[in-house]
Amino acid sequence: MGLSRAQAGLFLAFFLIITGHAPAALSADEPLRHGVALSGDVKYPAGFAHFDYVNPAAPKGGELKLAATGTFDTFNPILEKGEAAPGLNLVFDTLMKDADDEISTSYGLLAEGVSYPEDVSSATFRLRAEAKWADGKSVTPEDVIFSFEKSKELNPLYMSYYRHVVAVEKTGERDVTFRFDEKNNHELPMILGQFQILPKHWWEANGADGKPRDINRTTLEPVMGSGPFRIAEFKAGATVRYELRDDYWGKDLNVNVGQNNFRSIGYTMFGDLDVQVEAFRSGNFDYWMETKAARWATAYDFPAVKDGRVKREELPNPFRATGVMQALVPNMRREQFKDQRVREALNYAFDFEEMNRTVFYGAYKRVDSFFFGTELASKGLPEGRELEILNEIKDKVPAEVFETPYANPVGGNPQAQRENLRKAVGLLKEAGYEIRGGRMVNAKTGAPLIFEILLSNPMLEVVAVPYGEALRKIGIEARVRTVDDSQYANRTRSFDYDMTWIVWAQTLNPGNEQRDFWGSTSVDRPGSRNYAGIADPGVDALIDKVIFAKGRDELVAATKALDRVLLAHDYVVPLYYGSTARIAYWDKFEHPAELPTYAIGFPTVWWSKAATK
């Protein structure tokens, strides 16, 4: 739970008692930074006109029709329970805004900037005087405090992400200060600029029905924010449309110039992906990001593509600064997956090469790193500073990280498949299993090795079902079960699965989120992203080295060491990934000739052709 203002005061009083002095106040020479970067200096100087990747003359207007999968039952943007409507981020601003042509760099949005002392023991954001809610009231430090405390209280992800922020208080008419329980974590000031700021006065007033609003509950009352759009209309669980606000306070701000160009953005919900694809082909919505390689290769021959009404592009931009681990994840909270040899055997049964040839038209590469596709991925044997870091905790990491480079099994032909399955059986035998009557059973208890693969999307069955068939060849029964979005979310939040399909996306500046992914403090916390159930002292030690790395070289070395140790434990069955984003869209839009280096920029920097007429 986030600290209230009263609790913050108690914390400071307690600090004074046990140390004999108060926490250091911010000194006058701490500069107000208009932007912050985790690596090097920011690109844009104070007072810059606009980001380089936008069209500052982009026209405003037109309608954008989008689709989303599933349903929604709430407009509450921070509550973990319920299914939030797609596009809610359009309604709310954050303290800072990321630049899509820099790595982990952000500039002031609601805040003019941020200041912090040399030891990064706190961070103070100064709100812009002109920042307003949609009802015309000013955005205040009280709003920031309310939003932060409620986000931590009501959402386990925020509780983990901001666990080292122990107090937040108003320290000036437009200043709000966050205090930390650890020093020299340079990521904290940046990530504090990311949470959505909510209007305290709105949530504490009565709603349209005359009853008090309750941020602890789901709601379908259109919420108010300070962002560029408002909720214009909706049908619960089916459609929602957002409308650009002419009175948006920040429309001329440099970080917003050339952005938020559509007059309205609407979402239609679909329960079936195949129906969703057909709806796109029919022109019922405008934009589609293709995730199925076979469909991209074979299904874009319909008339609208042939005559140019639908455009297709493959863009590497989003992957330039994103490391991805896509994997089938055995839940080590289940007894059958606690033994590493069992997990390693599961990887030997997965024949990526055969699937890539027969199902994916050769579109993918096998993932072999938790930071796949980036400079942070470990390769070969450790050397230099990475080796030094591993030697510092040598007694806590597997010996093979010093001796054997990680490599996935390679299949693709009958002989390789048989050899890999033979190795899987050998590992399972070492772990205490044997085949009896065609079934893999525990040699002592006779219990069969059975588990369920939980999926959220029937498209994934094209991989999971053949994988289950391969496991059956060595006597393992793997049942594939696909559930709806709501059930999947509830089950993964409570770790109620044997094995599931997970994608972890990593930035080029990993930090606090690593504790939520694989830290022992998150293993028993519902809602964390520690889906594998990792609780390992060596991993914990390396996470700390990543978080507190001083300088880029140290961060890269520490991250490679962490990657190497995660791989060595065989926590997952790595799957595959591509290196481009495949998009298709009806020829109603334009975008800058040069998209941002690290993003597609859709729909933020795109605009409607209709608006130019």
Are residues 567 and 343 in contact, defined by beta-carbon separation less than 8 angstroms?
A: no
**Cα–Cα distance, 588 to 62 (Å, whole number):** 9
- By percentage, how much of the chain surpasses pLDDT 90? 84
The tokens for 260 are: 């938020």
Residue showing tokens 């205490």 = 432
Domain ranges (residues) in the chain:
60-244, 272-316+580-606, 323-577
How remote is the C-alpha of 268 from its chain's centroid?
Answer: 23
Residue showing tokens 């912050």 = 36
Helix extents (H) in 331-396: 340-348, 352-358, 384-392
Are residues 327 and 573 in contact, defined by beta-carbon separation less than 8 angstroms?
A: yes
**Cα–Cα distance, 577 to 291 (Å, whole number):** 10
What is the tens place of the pLDDT at every residue in 147-204?
Answer: 999 999 999 889 888 989 999 999 999 999 999 998 988 889 999 999 999 999 999 9
Q: Which of 340, 391, 332 is nearest to 533 (CA)?
A: 332
**Cα–Cα distance, 532 to 559 (Å, whole number):** 19
What is the tens place of the pLDDT at every residue in 196-246?
Answer: 999 999 999 999 899 999 999 999 999 999 999 999 999 999 999 999 999
Q: Which of 266, 370, 316 is nearest to 599 (CA)?
A: 316
Helix axes 384-392, 552-568, angle to 10 degrees: 60
Q: What is the pLDDT of residue 157?
A: 84
Instruction: From residue 435, give the alpha-carbon distance in Å to each of 28, 259, 343, 348.
Output: 73, 61, 17, 17
User: Residue 4 has what DSSP assignment?
Assistant: P
**Cα–Cα distance, 337 to 340 (Å, whole number):** 7
What is the tens place of the pLDDT at every residue in 50-95?
Answer: 999 999 999 999 999 999 999 999 999 999 888 999 999 999 999 9
Instruction: From residue 351, give the alpha-carbon distance in Å to each of 18, 312, 318, 354, 424.
Output: 59, 30, 28, 6, 12
Beta strands at 477-482 and 450-455: parallel, antiparallel or unpaired = parallel
Are residues 143 and 198 in contact, defined by beta-carbon separation less than 8 angstroms?
A: yes
Strand partners, 105: 37
Residue showing tokens 């298709």 = 584
The tokens for 477 are: 């029964």
For residue 90, is it left (φ>0), alpha (ψ between -120 and 50) or beta? alpha
The tokens for 20 are: 């004999």
What is the tens place of the pLDDT at every residue in 391-420?
Answer: 999 999 999 999 999 999 999 999 999 999
Are residues 342 and 414 in contact, defined by beta-carbon separation less than 8 angstroms?
A: no
Domain at 323-577: CATH code: 3.10.105.10
Reported CATH class of domain 60-244: alpha beta
**Cα–Cα distance, 191 to 161 (Å, whole number):** 8
Q: What is the pLDDT of residue 432?
A: 97
* Angle at 120 (CA atoms; ends 114, 123), nearest 5 degrees: 30
What is the arrangement of strands in the sheet containing 229-235, beginning at the earlier edge strand? 63-69, 264-270, 239-244, 229-235
Beta strands at 589-590 and 607-608: parallel, antiparallel or unpaired = antiparallel
Strand partners, 65: 266
* Angle at 43 (CA atoms; ends 606, 373), nearest 5 degrees: 70
Q: Which of 362, 377, 371 is nearest to 297 (CA)?
A: 362
Q: What is the pLDDT of residue 292?
A: 86
**Cα–Cα distance, 195 to 92 (Å, whole number):** 10
User: What phi and psi, each to the nearest 5 degrees, are found at residue 394?
Assistant: -55, -35
When the pLDDT of each residue in the chain is averaged and rounded to a whole number, the result is 92
Q: Which of 559, 560, 481, 494 is nearest to 533 (CA)?
A: 494
177 CB-near residues (< 8 Å, 6+ apart): 26, 122, 123, 124, 125, 168, 169, 170, 171
Helix axes 414-430, 340-348, angle to 10 degrees: 170
Mean pLDDT computed over 499-525: 94
Mean pLDDT computed over 524-528: 92
**Cα–Cα distance, 111 to 495 (Å, whole number):** 38
Q: What is the pLDDT of residue 445?
A: 96
User: What phi and psi, each to the nearest 5 degrees, are found at residue 91?
Assistant: -90, -25
For residue 437, is it left (φ>0), alpha (ψ between -120 and 50) or beta? left
Q: What is the pLDDT of residue 113?
A: 97
* Preceding omega of 141 cis (within 30 degrees of 0): no
Q: What is the pLDDT of residue 613?
A: 67
Strand partners, 67: 268
> Has residue 269 got a pLDDT over 60?
yes
Range from 25-29, 376-380, 443-447 carrying the lowest mean pLDDT:
25-29
Are residues 64 and 90 in contact, defined by beta-carbon separation less than 8 angstroms?
A: no
What is the tens place of the pLDDT at every residue in 133-142?
Answer: 999 999 999 9
What is the tens place of the pLDDT at every residue in 84-135?
Answer: 999 999 999 999 999 999 988 999 999 999 999 999 999 999 999 999 999 9
**Cα–Cα distance, 517 to 531 (Å, whole number):** 7
**Cα–Cα distance, 588 to 611 (Å, whole number):** 10
- The C-alpha torsion from 528 through 457 and 497 to 434, rounded to 10°, is -130
